[in-house]
Amino acid sequence: MSVTTFPLDDYLERIQHAGGVRPSEETLATLQRAQLETIPFENFDILLGRGISLDPARICAKLLGARRGGYCFELNGLLRMALTAVGFSARPLLASVHTRGRPTRRTHELVLVSIAGRQWIADVGFGGPGLRAPIPFEFDVIRPQDGTRYRLLEAGSLGTMLQAQFDEQWRDLYSFDLKQVSAADIEGANQLTSEDPSSHFTFSRVAARQTPRGRVTLLNNSLRIVAGGAEQTATLVEGQPYLDALARHFGIDLDTDYAALPPLAPG
């Protein structure tokens, strides 16, 4: 899909952005925040056996036309196409995720954006604890965002590490480098993440959406809502109430019966 064929107006309508757009730091931050609050992170097509296509037209059809969400390769793929259509210089990077102890293979996509000679990291596809706004590619600078502090560190053989601070402790989120990433690299990472039985996306129900005052996250049937520093949790009831909750909290309409979903993963 070329710059001229990307449906930029449909994208801006989907993320509820009514203003003009031009390649600036302000626009980059506005688009990232708007997409995070309107297009959810979710993996339900993997669980339904539908697979994940990274064809640009199919990403647009799913996330814009069908008003569904997706995971990092779809969400950041969409953002990258939109940024390019606006006039930004943007390219993909691949990262190893560190939130579960041992780092994964390079199975997370993010976006490197260049504006007037300055590089920025943009990411709308990391789920709950991810960046809420872009950050400059600069080391050892603390970047507060809506109550959470982030920083980039030089991490030796791992390249660059993104960390977030929780309960006064800095925790590793993911590591990456600035090497060129090909379409084949992304396709391979997508296939591994969406098809490998060891990938939690193949057996856990996951959804997340940022809100102006916090975030809403789902793991299987455990719903967590953080708003203004307060937290609420709930256990979703299986069946139609579960589907109703997906629509209410995340805007996800699966267009299928609850029985089509695989059983909830234990734990």
How far out from the chain centre does Cα 162 lie?
15
**Closest to 217 in 3D by CA, of 198, 168, 204:** 204
How far out from the chain centre does Cα 201 lie?
13
Question: What residues does 222 pair with on adjacent strands?
Answer: 219, 235
Question: What residues does 164 pair with on adjacent strands?
Answer: 150, 171
**Active-site pick, 45, 60, 108, 249:** 108
Residue 108 is a catalytic residue: yes
**203/30 Cα distance (integer angstroms):** 33
The residue written with tokens 């996330």 in the block is 63
Residue 60 is a catalytic residue: no
The CA–CA distances, whole Å, from 79 to 110, 113, 164, 193, 211 equal: 10, 11, 22, 20, 18
**Closest to 98 in 3D by CA, of 170, 148, 167:** 170
**166/210 Cα distance (integer angstroms):** 17
Question: What residues does 165 pair with on adjacent strands?
Answer: 149, 170
- First and final C-alpha spacing in the chain: 41
**Active-site pick, 45, 60, 98, 123:** 123
And the tokens for 97? Answer: 């995720």
**Active-site pick, 72, 98, 172, 249:** 72
**161/167 Cα distance (integer angstroms):** 19
Residue 177 is a catalytic residue: no
Known catalytic residues are 72, 108, 123
